Amino acid sequence: MARTLRPTEGKFMERGVMVKPTCPFCGMLLKKPEPVPSSDMPLGTCSCGAVYACEVTGHNLGSAMIEALVHACHGDWDCAWELTPDQDYVDQQVKTYDLETHHIIPGGVYEGRRISGVLYFIRLNEATAIKAPPEPTVPCPVQAPACKIPRRSSAKQEVEALVGRYDLKALLEMAAEDHRIIRDLKRLLYSADKLLRWRAAEALGKAAAVVALKNPTAVSKLIQGLFSSVSDTAASSWGSVDAIGEIIGSVPDRFSGFIPQLVQLSTDPARLPEVLRAMAKIGETRPDLLRRFSYPMIPLLRNPDSEVRGYAVILLGLLHAHEAKEDMARLKDDRTAIDIYRNGQIEKTTLDQVAVESLAKL
Reported confidence tier of residue 9, pLDDT bands at 50, 70, 90:
very low
pLDDT of residue 58: 86
Residue 132's pLDDT is what? 57
Residue 75: predicted pLDDT:
83
pLDDT for 235: 44
What's the pLDDT tens digit per position in 266-296?
999 999 999 999 999 999 999 999 999 999 9
Q: What is the rounded average pLDDT for all residues in the chain? A: 86
**pLDDT tier for residue 11 given thresholds of 50, 70 and 90:** very low
pLDDT, greater one: 207 or 39: 207
Predicted local confidence at residue 141, as pLDDT: 35
Mean pLDDT for 120-135 is 71
Q: What is the enclosing helix (H) or strand (E) of 172?
A: helix 168-177
Q: What is the pLDDT of residue 234?
A: 46
DSSP code at position 22: B
pLDDT of residue 192: 86
Residues contacting residue 26 through CB under 8 Å, at least 6 positions apart: 46, 47, 48, 50
In this structure, of 113-117, 144-148, 210-214, 300-304, the range with the lowest mean pLDDT score is 144-148
Return the pLDDT at 239.
92
pLDDT class for 28, splitting at 50, 70, 90?
A: confident
**Full-model pTM:** 0.67
DSSP 189-224: TT-S-HHHHHHHHHHHHHHHHHHHTT-HHHHHHHHH
Cβ(121)–Cβ(127) under 8 Å? no
> Three-class SS of residue 118?
strand
Q: What is the pLDDT of residue 148?
A: 42
- Distant-in-sequence, close-in-space partners of 90: CB < 8 Å, separation ≥ 6: 25, 122, 123, 125
Residue 19 DSSP class: B
> What's residue 153's pLDDT?
41
Asked if 186 and 208 count as a contact pair (C-beta separation under 8 A), the reply is no
Q: What is the crossing angle of helices 306-318 and 351-359, to 10°?
A: 10
Of residues 137 and 228, which shows the higher confidence score? 228
